[in-house]
C-alpha cells in the first residue's frame, strides 16, 4: 500500500533521500555535541531533579 502511494508522487525519491540525510545529520550533530559538552554542565543537569 505504501509503495503504491509513494509511486504516485513525483519526486518522492529525492524527498525520501533528503529526509534521510537530514535525519542522519541532526542525530550526528547531537551525538558530537554530547561528546564535546562540558562534564561539569552534564553533572549539574543530572543533579537538577534532586535539588530543592
Domain boundaries of the chain, sorted by first residue:
13-50
Mean pLDDT by 10 residues, the chain (52 residues): 71 84 97 92 89 74
Residue 12 · residue 6 · CB < 8 Å: yes
Instruction: Quote the pLDDT of residue 1.
Output: 61
| Residue 51, Ramachandran bin (φ over 0: left; ψ between -120 and 50: alpha; else beta) | beta
Neighbours of 11 (CB within 10 A): 8
What is the structure's pLDDT at 2? 63
- In this prediction the pTM is 0.60
Amino acid at each position: 500500500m505504501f509503495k503504491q502511494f509513494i509511486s504516485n508522487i513525483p519526486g518522492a525519491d529525492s524527498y525520501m533521500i533528503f529526509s534521510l540525510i537530514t535525519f542522519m545529520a541532526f542525530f550526528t550533530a547531537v551525538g558530537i555535541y554530547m561528546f564535546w559538552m562540558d562534564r561539569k554542565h552534564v553533572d549539574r543537569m543530572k543533579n537538577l531533579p534532586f535539588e530543592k
